[in-house]
Structure 1
Amino acid sequence: MSTIKSSELITNDDGSIFHLHLLPEDLADTVILVGDPGRVETISAYFDTIELKKSNREFYTVTGHYNNRRLSVVSTGIGPDNIDIVINELDALVNIDLKTKEIKPDKHSLNIVRIGTSGSVQADIPVDSFVISEKSIGCDGVIRFYGDNQSVCDRDFEEAFIRHCQWAADAARPYVVNASASLVERLHTAGQTIKGVTLTAVGFYGPQGRILRLPLAMPGINDRITAFRYQNYKVTNYEMESAAITGLCNLLGHHAATICLIIANRMTGDASADYHGYMKKLIEYTLTQLTR
């Protein structure tokens, strides 16, 4: 069995994983990811009991119980670069012996669900909707740094998207990944949630087609994204983490899904008048679905 070098898997003086500051026993099998550290407190306020709270930089973890189910809530901060850190360290906590730095022979799978906010790119998906990312299109390039990434990607979907959107040749090549079918079905309720295709951008402004002082390299990209169709799929919403989470989890053998609150509609120009209230409704809904 090969041993991972300490320079590749850094641990802290107490034996915890480098960025998250967690020990293996700190982590539940079901993990909720949120971008905002403040949302960890909002979610964990629903817990019946709390075992621990640990934080480092933007990474804040609370583990406790809800409806007799052990859950961990972890904040990631914003963007796919942080997702690379979080997913790899969550995997290391369950699949690598942090003391010996050896990969465990028997692999353990986590259920990882992101609760986030998002912008709709379809006029018929209104603000305050709950959208589940059945598929995610990653424009961030994260999983392209890992071997065999095409084994978890839908190449035909990618090619269709690239052609239709007239994707710039020197931009990161989009990848398409599928969420865990079992988690999607657990989270979905007809009439309450919408299954969709989420586009994960690497930034908030230019990468999502916003123009401030800098012009876009791909003018009109949002109109082309909105008009894109592949089989029975269309892009439903923009955010900044879903594809990286799903792609890395698929490569590592974990189950992942994303459910987002639509707080703005890029086509109609509408914005939610009660974003915080609907986020609480989404949290309550997701906790119920995960623990029923």
Structure 2
Amino acid sequence: MKELSSSDLVINPDGSIYHLNIRPEDLAHTIITVGDPDRVAVVSKYFDLIELKKGKREFKTHTGYIGNKRISVISTGIGTDNIDIVMNELDALVNINFNTRTIKPNPISLDIIRIGTSGAIQPDVEMGTILASTHGIGLDALMHYYTLNLNNEEQLIHDDLQTYFSDLNGINPYISKASEDLLASIGKNMAQGITVTAPGFYAPQGRLVRAENVHKNWIEKLNSFRSNDLRITNLEMETAGIYALAKVLGHKALSVNAILASRVKLEFSKQPDVIVEKAIKQVLERLS
């Protein structure tokens, strides 16, 4: 097998992967990702045992157990540029032999569950809702650098997106679907919908502060999209990248969104931590 170069796969002197700063044995095969490094401890406080705590830059990892279930919770920071790092390094930890720098012959599939915050763009999706993303639509450029093969359903939605946004310069969305297994188990009885992943928090999500926005009435444009009976329900900054790279690398992924804002009603929750805690508890109960 071809040996991966030291510039393609960067391994620290202690045998840990470059950015995440953890070794293969530090990682559970069930992983919760959160954006905020401080939220890692908010999740791991529910563990019966924490066996490892490591951190570097915005990437913090706690690995432990709930009963007999081994779980790692990892912070990604904000945006799909960080998701590119996290997803590739998680995959490397389980599917590359660090001693020989070669790809293992029998790949491992990880279960990756994002618990993140999001804003609703449909008036019937209330603040406080815990929503599982059936699909992620990426408005960023990450997956224009990878080969992403679509199934028939994804291709249909992608074609509808291309037609719908054809009048807007600079909009070239990609799409990927959630793991059906995780959607059925972790996402069972949750509100569901398509999540748009934006490449920023302000103008890319239709916020107008001081700078002028190119795309006027952006929220209305997004919430009017339909592909058969599917609609876009919410906006955030990581889901599509997680779904697409999980598909490329052979992992299962689900994004669970704590809805903190109504972009249609121009409201933001006065108790965001309570909603996030609700999402965390639901996911952990279903994992354990």
**Normalising TM by the smaller chain, what interval?**
over 0.9
Matches of 1:20 and 1:290 in 2, distance apart?
23
Look up the match of 1:135.
Answer: 135
Are 1:254 and 2:256 an aligned pair? no
- How many residue pairs are counted as aligned between the two chains? 287
2-side partners of 1:222 and 1:34: how far apart? 25
TM-score (ref. length: structure 2): 0.96
Alignment partners' CA distance in 2, 1:89 and 1:189: 29
Aligned equivalents of 1:182 and 1:88: distance in 2? 22
Unaligned stretches of 5+ residues in structure 2: none
Q: How do residues 1-292 of structure 1 correspond to structure 2 at under 5 angstroms? A: 1-147=1-147, 149-151=148-150, 154-166=154-166, 168-171=168-171, 173-190=172-189, 193-291=190-288
Give the TM-score taking structure 1 as reference length: 0.95
| Corresponding residue SS for 2:201 | coil
Q: Cα deviation per residue 1:79-101 (whole Å; 9 max; x = unaligned)? A: 00000000000000000011211
Partner SS state of residue 253, structure 2: strand
- Contact kept, 8 Å, 2:117 with 2:257, in 1: the verdict is yes
* TM-aligned CA deviation for residue 77 of structure 1: 0.3
Query: Equivalents in 1 of 2:206, 2:276: separation in Å?
Result: 25
Please list the CA deviations of residues 215-241 of structure 1 after superposition, one character each: whole Å capped at 9, or x if unmatched: 222212211111111111000000000
Task: Tell me how far 1:5 sits from its aligned partner.
Answer: 0.5
Cα distance between partner residues in 2 of 1:127 and 1:140: 25
User: Aligned AA for 2:157?
Assistant: F
Deviation at 1:275, TM superposition (A): 1.2
Q: State whether residues 165 and 225 of structure 1, in contact with CA within 8 Å, keep that contact through their aligned partners in structure 2.
A: no
Cα offset for 1:204? 0.3
CA RMSD, Structure 1 to Structure 2 (Å): 1.3
Counterpart CA distance in 2 for 1:7 and 1:54 is 23
Task: State the SS of the aligned residue for 2:226.
Answer: coil
Q: How far 1:21 sits from its partner (Å)?
A: 0.6
Pairwise CA distance, 1:166: 4.6
C-alpha distance after superposition, 1:29-88 (max 9, x if no partner): 100000000000000000000110000000000000013200000000000000000000
CA apart distance, 1:270: 2.2
